[in-house]
Amino acid sequence: MSARSKARKRALDLLFAADVRDVPVISLVDAESVRAQSEPDRAASWRYARDIIEGIIDNNVRIDELISGNSAAWTIERMPAVDRAILRIGAWEILFNDEVPTAVAIDEAVEAAKELSTDDSAKFVHGVLAAIARTATPTA
């Protein structure tokens, strides 16, 4: 697994945990940062995971509006928590990280959905992120 894939998974874990526990994700970021400093193997992937999370926090309104606007009849609140986290990461990479090609961001999100969510989630995630990629203007 590449360092960026590991970072996406770490970001996903933190976003999911914060969502399920109904706590601000930033409260989990600080603890994870300390943990990453004490474990050198985790440090490399932690930097990008933190970039993802901070980017989502900084742009959460726009990201959630685009996800909601491109997910036919599904509100953010109605989506499974893991799908919300996957979509937020994918949308952030598409919109705000020009180092990651759009196709890679979508593919990584779809693979995460296949591995971690429902049978229908991969298709749903692909459809939402592809629509965001077609219609949204990147602002990175």
Q: Which domains does the chain have, with CATH numbers?
A: 3-135 (1.10.940.10)
Percentage of the chain exceeding pLDDT 70: 94
Mean pLDDT of 103-114: 97
For 20-37, how does the pLDDT look when each residue is reduced to its tens digit (9 = 90+)? Answer: 999 999 888 887 777 777
Mean pLDDT of 76-81: 92
Task: State both tokens at 45.
Answer: 């992937």
Confidence of residue 45 (pLDDT cuts 50, 70, 90): confident
Confidence of residue 39 (pLDDT cuts 50, 70, 90): confident
The more confident residue out of 31 and 125 is 125
Percentage of the chain exceeding pLDDT 90: 71
For residue 140, pLDDT beyond 60:
no
User: What's the whole-number average pLDDT of the chain?
Assistant: 90
Q: What angle do CA 121, 125, 130 make, to 5 degrees?
A: 155
- Burial code (b: 16+ CB inside 10 Å, e: under 16) for 84-96 equals bbbbbbbbbbbbb
Q: Which of 129, 135, 138, 92 is nearest to 110 (CA)?
A: 129
Please tell me the distance from the alpha carbon of residue 53 to that of residue 5, in angstroms, as a whole number. 14
For 46-63, how does the pLDDT look when each residue is reduced to its tens digit (9 = 90+)? Answer: 889 999 999 999 999 999
